[in-house]
């Protein structure tokens, strides 16, 4: 694009790299640092109250904006994970929570059923933007 809007952080010019710009009309509003996928596995021996987690390392030195889409049941369509949720199917459920820190994001899942066995996949985006 030969024209557009750029707003840089104090002491940076409009030609600065994306992480030093507040707004750049050539890029999405949230500037993606990186993205990827992971999974959390419950085995057949896991029972009620078992907790498993996955760690995403970003090492940004501050708490970034993140988006995580996770399965609420093995093989189910992924939905956005906001802070925490409890997904119920009949009397079974799995609860999940996010812990977003200055170097890692931890997604934890806890079984509310006696047989949570399966692989719960997730996809994530870590953004340059601070919370």
**Whether the predicted pLDDT of 26 surpasses 90:** no
Bigger pLDDT: 109 or 2? 109
Bridge partners of residue 42, in order along the sequence:
118
**Whether the predicted pLDDT of 82 surpasses 80:** no
Locus of tokens 């009397």? 91
Instruction: For residue 3, give its domain range.
Output: 1-28
Same domain, 67 and 5: no
Same domain, 21 and 35: no
Taking residues 41-67, what's their average pLDDT? Answer: 90
Same domain, 56 and 94: yes
90: left (phi over 0), alpha (psi -120 to 50) or beta: left
Q: Please state the domain count of the chain.
A: 2
Same domain, 24 and 35: no
**Whether the predicted pLDDT of 105 surpasses 70:** yes
Q: How far is CA 32 from CA 7, 18, 39, 65, 130, in A?
A: 17, 9, 21, 9, 12
């Amino acid at each position: 694009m030969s024209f557009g809007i750029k707003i840089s952080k104090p002491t940076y010019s409009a030609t600065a790299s994306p992480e030093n710009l507040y707004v750049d009309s050539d890029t999405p509003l949230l500037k993606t640092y990186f993205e990827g996928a992971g999974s959390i596995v419950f085995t057949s021996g896991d029972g009620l109250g078992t907790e498993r987690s996955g760690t995403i390392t970003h090492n940004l030195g501050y708490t970034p904006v993140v988006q995580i889409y996770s399965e609420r049941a093995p093989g189910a369509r992924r939905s956005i994970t906001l802070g925490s949720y409890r997904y119920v199917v009949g009397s079974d459920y799995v609860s999940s929570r996010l812990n977003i820190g200055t170097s890692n994001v931890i997604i934890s899942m806890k079984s509310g059923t006696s047989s949570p066995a399966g692989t719960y996949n997730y996809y994530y985006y870590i953004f340059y933007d601070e919370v």
